[in-house]
Amino acid sequence: MKKLFYIPAIFLLVTGITLGQDNSPSEQNQKTANTKFILTGFGFGGMGIEGTGDEQKSTFGETGFSPIFLWKQSDRIFFESELEFELKEEGTEIGLEYANISYIFNKYMTLRAGKFLSPFGTFQERLHPAWINKLVSKPLGFGHSAVGPTSEIGFDLRGGIPLYHCKLNYSIYVSNGPKLNNGSDMPEETGMLKYENFIDNNLNKAIGGRFGLLPFPNSSVEIGASYQTAMVGDKDDSLYENIRAQMFAVDFSLVKGIKFLKGIIDIKGQFSQVNVDKADYFDPLDTTGMAYTFENITQVYYGQLSFRPAMLKNKLIKNIELVGRYATLMSPEESKWGEEEKQLTIGINYWTSWRTVIKFNYQMIRHGHDSEEENAFLIQFAIGF
Amino acid sequence: MKKLKIIVVAGSLFIVSAVTLTNCVSLKVTAKNGALLWGDNCKRCHNTPSPVDFTDELWETIGMHMQIRANLTDKETKKIVEFLQSAN
């Protein structure tokens, strides 16, 4: 019944605003010229056969749609937002991946405010979309339960600076930062950092940044270093409010056409480490009430190599790409979530256009030293639009 | 697994050295035209886009998006957008 009221009310409001505007053709053209809006994004679908030994499962799934809204309001003001729709077992999951406004101060400095992809490393900010990521899966520790932040809510100052033969780029941000799981919620993840800190859990703000250097004029190589520091305990929680997390990352990228190989080589890698101050934690299931502690250091790295013979004349072969990636995640051994995981993924991609790809991957994951290897065969069809 | 690691590290070092040597003869960034910059920069993250896939107006918006996201310099962005607009 309420809907019946809202629909005509919205219609009247929109009509009123529209009629109230001066619709002279010259002004309309001016508005169209100033405001440039684009709906872009990416989508993907696929299937996987995965499991260990006899425990195999095979399912279609891994379907997602991420519309991206870009709005250039003027030469200085820009808005970007990405929504994320993904099929999960419980149903369709909707998320706001990012939404932020940028103001370009000058050639070398842009300020962003809102929720933005974290400039900590490069995978999350530049390489995670399904049509850009060369493999179906993300490297260990770079997915949604990531080691290091995936997004930030705050302010980010960034830019690119030419330096004769080189280029520099930077990003310095202030954000809510991560929060510490002190064990009161999900005791099996005690001591782990949670990065989705939408309402800051304390008065402290995280400070972080990344500096990138492109030493060659053809921009084929980029070396980056990132750092973030933040207090992560809840405000007024005397046991944990002074616990600090420091994290750093180094990343590397090399993309280069090699004439004698008649193709493009793409090498990417990132190493991230998260250090959380040592603290005493309590297990709610431990009736003795004894505290336990551990060195809270988590490390993750991946290295990826791909080759596409894009300079060949044969249309079929030039669109084929070979990819391999190795990733390792080492979380604190004495924690309840600590283990060492290794992931090796190899794949063949076929590009039907510059932004449409079909990926065929074989992946092996080993958890710890004694566990059985988890194998998966994954297929994904991804499109950027 | 150890052998694989050694192969990957050795291979990477070889490629890095080869690329370093071949890069030394490249033009400086400010002397490059839009087509060269388009070829150099887009492929750092994704395949180079086809100029015909978007209109002039959309390239302007996409250019601004990439300037902010990929930290392209102001001059690079302008030259790349001008090239894409002229080639579509």
> What residues are paired with A212 via a beta bridge?
A169, A224
Q: How confident is the model at residue B28 (pLDDT cuts 50, 70, 90)?
A: low
CA B28 from centre of chain: 14
Q: For residue B26, is pLDDT > 70? A: no
Structural contact between residues A158 and A285, judged by C-beta atoms closer than 8 angstroms: no
Query: Which residue from A162, A217, A303 is facing B73, i.e. has the nearest CB?
Result: A162
Average pLDDT of the residues in A7-23 = 44
pTM for this model (two decimals): 0.85
Q: For residue A247, is pLDDT > 80? A: yes
Q: For residue B68, is pLDDT > 70? A: yes
Structural contact between residues A49 and A56, judged by C-beta atoms closer than 8 angstroms: yes
Q: Which residues between 28 and 67 in chain B have a beta carbon less than 8 angstroms from any beta carbon of chain A?
A: 28-30, 32, 40-41, 43-50, 54, 57-58, 60-62, 64-65, 67
pLDDT for A225: 98
pLDDT 10s digits, A79-108: 999 999 988 888 899 999 999 999 999 999
- B70–A contact, CB cutoff 8 A: yes
Q: How confident is the model at residue A54 (pLDDT cuts 50, 70, 90)?
A: confident
> Measured between alpha carbons, how far is A141 from A244 in angstroms, rounded to an integer?
21
> Measured between alpha carbons, how far is A62 from A124 in angstroms, rounded to an integer?
19
Give B-chain residues touching A351 at CB under 8 angstroms: 47
Query: Which residue from A38, A159, A220 is facing B71, i.e. has the nearest CB?
Result: A159
pLDDT for A25: 41
Q: What is the mean pLDDT of chain A?
A: 89
Structural contact between residues A149 and A182, judged by C-beta atoms closer than 8 angstroms: no
Residues 6+ apart with CB under 8 A from A241: A202, A231, A233, A234, A235
- Helix/strand/coil (H/E/C) assignment for every residue in chain A: CHHHHHHHHHHHHHHHHHHHCCCCHHHHHHHHHHCEEEEEEEEEEEEEEEEECCEEEEEEEEEEEEEEEEEECCCCEEEEEEEEEEEECCEEEEEEEEEEEEEEEECCEEEEEEEEECCCCCHHHHHCCCCCCCCCCCCCCCCCCCCCCCEEEEEEEEEEEEECCEEEEEEEEEECCCEECCCCCCHHHCCCEECCCCCCCCCCCEEEEEEEEECCCCCCEEEEEEEEEEECCCCCCCCCCCCEEEEEEEEEEEEEEEHHHCEEEEEEEEEEEEEECCCCEECCCCCCCCEECCCEEEEEEEEEEEEECCCCCCHHHHCEEEEEEEEEEECCCCCCCCCEEEEEEEEEEEEEECCEEEEEEEEEEEECCCCCCEEEEEEEEEEEC
Q: Which residues between 123 and 182 in chain A have a beta carbon less than 8 angstroms from any beta carbon of chain B?
A: 125-127, 131-132, 158-162, 164-167, 169-171
pLDDT for A276: 96
